[in-house]
Structure 1
Amino acid sequence: MRVMISQLKEGCILSNDILSLTNTPIIPKKTVLTNEHIHVLQVFLVKDVQVESFLINGEPFTPTEQVEEIEVVEKENTIVEDYLKSVVEYKQLFKSWQAGALVEISKVRQIIIPLFKRILKLPKELFSLHRYTNREDYIYHHSVMLGLLSGYLGKKLKYSEGDCNHLAIAGLLSDCGMSKIDPKILLKNSSLTLAEYNNVKKHPLYSYRMIEKIPLIKDSVKLAVFQHHERVDGTGYVLGVTGEKLHPFSKIVAVADVYSAMTLERPYSNRQSPFRALEEIRRESFGKFDMKVVEALTNGVGNISIGTRIKLSNGQSGEIVFIDKSQPTRPLLKISESEFLDLKNYREIFIEEII
């Protein structure tokens, strides 16, 4: 929808680039507006902008006045809109668990499966959803993202459609036991004490107990929920078991869990770019994660090709001209007609996003 600048509020999401006289965006599309952004638009004398019909927290954006548009076309919800809707629905479900409600698998399926099916048709969208998260609702965003990522990795590993759906459900339910943790700990915006951390480490057991006796949930899902913080080398929790005792679903959800946590805004840390998170996972994965799963994630995040335009962590933009398959997140870039940058030689610079 198109609205006057005076109608904007924090949390609005731009639908289109706001261009300057040089055709360089003042503010790029998909930006979640802050008061500072709105002030910049006022300084540049921008009269009106195109924004989404929903806010970053998933609530509808209903300005008191809109700019009249010549043609209004009914369109399908965007994946972002459906994603934020699923986050809001999961939040409601989580709060009901905090109040003592039982897990209803039908509601769980309604939240994750339709969205997961949409993601499979447009998988690149999965790796840009992290832009729409916020600190306050981290645990809800994380659970939905974990469901989508787990199912997606199952697809990359050539699991059946049914198994991929079960992986998506396992991912979504992995942190349901967090509803049994003191809310003050969940919302804490600083490092946890040892006692608090040990309390949080019990959540896989709580999650398992919440779904243990539900006959409609497969044992593979229950094991994935219980084991998603275990590691192949036995350094994980709750039981510290090693690789041969871990269900394959558990190994998939474990990788998805770490990637999701690193790329989302958390109460106590800023999000990292997908490429930086992937590099850290690859560096730390030896002995801890199933390498087949890590490679599946690499192929998904690194699904970039020659000619792709990217933005770097130092603010520069460029075009990919060569990709070394052994280091897909470190391509050779063309910055300008006469300047090239080989990311393999600049470890402090990361691909921030694809543009």
Structure 2
Amino acid sequence: MEHYLGKRAKEDIVNSYGVTIVPANTTIDGDALELIIKHRVNADTIVLESDEAAPAAAPLEDAEISRSVQHLKELYQSIRLSRKVPIWEIRNEVLPDVMGAAETSDVFQLLEKIKGKDDYTYEHHIGVAALSSLIGRWMNLSEPELSSLTLAALLHDIGKIKVPDELLMKPGKLTEEEMRLVRKHTVYGYELLRETKGINHRIALVALQHHEREGGGGYPFGLKQDKIDPFSSIVAVADVFHAMSSKRPYREPYPFNELLRQMGQEKFGGLNPQVVSVFLRNLSNKLVGQQVRLTDGRAGEVVYVNPNQPEYPLVKTADEGFVDLSREREAGIREITFNE
């Protein structure tokens, strides 16, 4: 009966006397499975949500993301020359594609498609916007708020048009003076957006505040939680996750389990804990059933996730049965894998 682990009961699971052993909508963990076995529940009476055929989600096409990246790149190049933001074009020609991509039911396919690989600067804008839109939906924002948030995320790094490319793409560590220049992109972006007609002030604030941190350790002003706009907090989480999951000039992407671990740690004095919790909880809920490759090369399927330690799930491998990553800490999930 181990194949029930991680699946959700569609109806109450009852014993032969009609007593409910596992309530409907419960995700079956080790304790629930033990009860099912102990009460000798007839397997034919167990109805799981996954037993019903679900309509396949439409695959997210690479072209949809690539088109947005290329279009935004062209628009940003025009901004470098004119110092004017073509907000109508961005709002009407880029924003709908990004918000549409974030509506996919296959979150891990989305995360894979938006990773920065070749043209990081512009892939980062699109990736952060898609992630921000995703988080905003999970936080039940209204459609107008969601649209403003996603637009703000698309423009969060716009101030970097005034930072030399050689600094943005430098493979080694920046000097203190170089870092000071790069950090000015927050103020540059705020000033540019504040002067743009058709943009509300919150969108400009995101450009200014997305590197501020809850404990006051961010920049440019070292603001604390009560002074940071909620949109800025959401974009900050998306910004950090996308940067860590992407290939950079100076490092490879972080393994998936390390991503989850470090994001969780950022809740303490860094990123907004509510936003991080919503993000990690929803990712964790969608991990069960995903095909993964472990850091030691083994392949398997996630069958159970402990909500308190989502980076250490239970994985079923083809050759060795179950691998409990909470006990085998030397291994972890390197990546989510997909069938071609």
Deviates further, 109-118 or 260-269: 109-118
Cα deviation digits, residues 111-149 of structure 1 (max 9, x gap): 132231232133513221245x324x1111111111111
Could you tell me which amino acid in structure 2 is paired with residue 264 of structure 1?
Answer: S
TM-score after normalising by structure 2: 0.76
Identity of aligned residues (%): 31
CA-CA distance at 1:329 after TM superposition: 2.5
Displacement after TM superposition at 1:297 (Å): 1.4
- Give distance in 2, aligned partners of 1:271 and 1:181: 24
Query: What's the C-alpha RMSD, in Å, of the aligned pairs?
Result: 2.0
Shift of 1:334: 1.6
Tell me the number of residue pairs that the alignment of Structure 1 and Structure 2 aligns.
278
Counterparts in 2 of 1:325-344, with a 5 A limit? 325-336=307-318, 338-344=320-326
Q: 2-side partners of 1:83 and 1:230: how far apart?
A: 28
Q: How much does 1:328 deviate?
A: 1.9
The match for 2:43 is: none
Deviation at 1:96, TM superposition (A): 2.0
**Residue 225 to residue 314, structure 1, CA distance change in 2 (3 Å):** same
Higher relative contact order (CA 8 A, sep 6+): 2
The CA deviation string for residues 47-83 of structure 1, in whole angstroms up to 9 with x for no partner, is xxxxxxxxxxxxxxxxxxxxxxxxxxxxx99432110
- What stretches of structure 1 of length at least 5 have no aligned partner? 1-75
Deviations 1:87-112 (A, max 9, x none): 11111122222223411111222213
Matched, 1:269 2:251: yes
Q: Which residue is 1:153 aligned to? A: 135
Q: TM-score, normalised by structure 1?
A: 0.73
Letter in 2 for 1:127: L
- 2:189 and 2:208 in contact (8 A); partners too: yes
Q: Which residue of 2 aligns with 1:129?
A: 113
Counterpart for residue 258 of structure 1? 240
Aligned counterpart, 1:202 = 184
Q: Name the residue aligned to 1:105.
A: 87
Show structure 1 runs of 4+ deviating over 4 A. none
Structure 2 stretches of 5 or more lacking a match? 1-57
Q: Which has the larger radius of gyration?
A: 2
Residue aligning to 1:8: none
Distance 2:145 2:281 in 1: 20
- Does the 8 Å contact 1:127/1:301 carry over to 2? no
**Which residue of the partner structure matches residue 281 of structure 1?**
263
1:317 maps to which residue?
Answer: 299
Are the aligned partners of 1:331 and 1:342 in contact in 2 as well (CA < 8 Å)?
Answer: yes
The 1:350–1:99 alpha-carbon spacing in structure 2 relative to 1, beyond 3 Å, is farther
Letter of the 1:114 counterpart: D
Q: Among 97, 118, 123, which residue is 1:114 paired with?
A: 97
Q: Which amino acid aligns with 2:122?
A: Y
Q: Distance in 2 between matches of 1:340 and 1:180?
A: 52
Query: Whole-Å Cα distance in 1 between the matches of residues 307 and 169 of structure 2?
Result: 40
Residue 287 of structure 1 aligns to a residue whose secondary structure is: coil
Pairwise CA distance, 1:313: 2.3
Match of 2:72 among 90, 99, 111: 90
User: Partner of 1:7 in structure 2?
Assistant: none
Give distance in 1, aligned partners of 2:139 and 2:257: 20
1:99 match: secondary structure: helix
For residues 173-203 of structure 1, the C-alpha deviation after alignment (integer angstroms, 9 at most, x for no partner) is: 0111101001211221221111111110111
Closer, same or farther: CA 118–281 of 1 in aligned 2, 3 Å: closer
Query: Deviation at 1:338?
Result: 4.4
SS at match of 1:171: helix
Query: Does the 8 Å contact 1:112/1:144 carry over to 2?
Result: no
CA distance in 2, matches of 1:266, 1:192: 14
Structure 2 residue identity aligned to 1:121: T
